[in-house]
Structure 1
Amino acid sequence: MEHAFFTVRPATLADLDSLIELRAYLLDGTTARYSSKTPEEAARWRTAYRSWLGSRLDESDCVQILTAEHKESGQVLGCATAIIDQRAPAPGCLNGLSGWVQSVVVEPQWRNRGIARQLMQHLLRWFANRGVDHVVLQSTESAGTLYQALGFTVSDERLLIRQEASA
């Protein structure tokens, strides 16, 4: 899984801090609805995410977390997560296996160099090898062009969210 200046590989426990800091680009201090609004909220999601990662980085059949690592420095430049859900069969998904992509993030200074594309291509192959033909993701506006180039289309379905107040 090597490319010009980076290697795509499965994330390990040694990558925990890098994965959390990369995800913070999406979840801290943005205007997105899902973004943490206070330092306390940021601390809570980071603690919960660290625990979640710790339980899933050891081989999982339904979760794949990849990193893009700089060949020379060993720095984690980007990451991406794939999750397989088992849902009821539907016309476009007869086996009920539905893929979800989340947390595709590249360090700002390394963006627009093909890292996110390579991470996504590896995740899409991982899904295909497991019989997952239906893959969904939520995108930032700036990443929409990449996902459309990879065959994703904008859905006409409404995404509705209900969230209980957290303690």
Structure 2
Amino acid sequence: MDIRTLGIDDLELICRHREAMFQDAGRSDDVLLPMTENFREWVRPRLLDGSYFGYVILDDGTPVAGIGLMLIDWPPHPEHPWHDKRGYVLNVFVEPDYRKRGLARELMKLAEAEFVARGVCFAVLHATEKGRPLYQGLGWSSTTEMAKTLPL
């Protein structure tokens, strides 16, 4: 298996992985299709300017797993009182035939190392129920974050 960084040529792969990740979490196509369409337009310029970055694992040239990463502006906080950025992990996905082989764990280790290399000491992610045991096993913990969808 090979690992490489994401690039603009991975746009459709990233979109496919994101949609499949949410399908695995039980989301319906009536929500996912417009989300993917809008996500594609959102992520394209970020791939080009490098503000969305990450890794893909390939098996004989075929992408089988990927992870997206971002740095987000965040005011100094008790968890990172001297820093104004957080790492953000998103779109962790492993193709079904490649699961339970440690690929997501490898991607998470790469993500943590990338954040440290970029001077970020605190990172967050939103876990699906399937992903939660992996993240907890790597030392990630739940936070006090809450969410609410607001009407437009």
One of 61, 65, 70 as aligned partner of 1:78: 65
**Structure 2 counterpart of 1:136, which letter?**
V
**Structure 2 counterpart of 1:96, which letter?**
D
Distance in 1 between residues matched to 2:139 and 2:48, nearest whole Å: 30
- Counting aligned pairs with the same residue, the percent is 25
Distance in 1 between residues matched to 2:113 and 2:56, nearest whole Å: 15
Q: Give the SS at the match of 1:141.
A: coil
CA contact (8 A) 1:69 1:75 kept: yes
Distance in 1 between residues matched to 2:52 and 2:123, nearest whole Å: 13
Is 1:121–2:123 an aligned residue pair?
no
Distance in 2 between residues matched to 1:135 and 1:148, nearest whole Å: 13
Is 1:57–2:52 an aligned residue pair?
no
What are the superposed Cα offsets for residues 12-58 of structure 1, whole Å, 9 maximum, x if unpaired?
23222222221112223743xxx3x343x322111112112211222
Q: Do the aligned partners of residues 89 and 67 (structure 1) sit closer, same or farther apart at CA in structure 2, a change above 3 Å counting?
A: same
One of 35, 54, 77 as aligned partner of 1:90: 77
Partner of 2:150: 164
CA contact (8 A) 2:17 2:66 kept: yes
Partner of 1:3: none
Which residues of structure 1 form unaligned runs of 5+? 1-5
Is 1:48–2:35 an aligned residue pair?
no
Which residues of structure 2 form unaligned runs of 5+? none
Partner of 2:10: 15
- Normalized per residue, which structure has more helix? 2
Q: Give the SS at the match of 1:104.
A: strand
TM-score between the two structures when normalised by the length of structure 2: 0.87
**Structure 2 counterpart of 1:97, which letter?**
K
